[in-house]
Amino acid sequence: MDEKRAEYLVERYSDTILRIGYTWLRDLDDAKDICQTVLIKLLEDGRTFPDPGQERAWVIRVSVNQCKNWRKSAWFRHRVRLEDAGELSVELPEPEDGSLLEQVNRLPDKYRQAVYLRYYEGYEVREIAALLGRPPALVSTHLARGKEMLKKRLGGTYEQYQ
């Protein structure tokens, strides 16, 4: 494998892949595993694209698919969260309540995915629909409902969150 290509992929996409993994799986360690797996797949594939937008869309599609596969795996479905395993002698820090990203991560999956891709990754509705394999009208509905849920949770007026 080409070392320069590996450095390029890590510099360019590791943050995006990690954020997608965290958004889908809600666990930083799982997101890191997804990031590593996706980067290895990208290195092994060796595909090139005519423009950076197509490459980025492909990377996000691979990341989303990997997250879906991860969630379908028997290991993911049958594991026990550390918090549920029993008493710990170490205090774990709580996520910062009230932050916008924390509230986005608390949305139901279908809304969280659409909101994250639209407002954190900057994709348009038709692009999100293609990435998630859903009709654009459904993505628009998920965005509207997700924004409405966020507005209720965070308080304030709709105009603040546009």
**pLDDT tens readout for residues 16-51:** 999 898 888 888 888 898 899 888 888 888 777 888
Please write the tens of the pLDDT for every residue from 51-102: 888 888 888 889 998 988 887 876 566 565 555 555 444 443 444 555 777 8
> Apex CA 94: angle with CA 88 and CA 100, to 5°?
155
- Alpha-carbon gap, residue 16 to 140, rounded angstroms: 22
Please, what is the average pLDDT of the chain? Answer: 80
Which tokens hold the place of 96?
A: 């910062």
Spatial contact of 131 and 123, defined as CB atoms under 8 Å apart: yes
Which tokens hold the place of 123?
A: 């994709």
| Half-sphere exposure in the Cβ direction for 77 (13 Å, CA) | 6
Please write the tens of the pLDDT for every residue from 132-162: 888 999 999 999 999 998 888 887 654 554 5
Please write the tens of the pLDDT for every residue from 99-131: 777 888 888 888 988 998 888 888 889 988 888
**Whether this model's pTM surpasses 0.95:** no
DSSP 91-132: PPPPP-TT-HHHHHHTS-HHHHHHHIIIIIS---HHHHHHHH
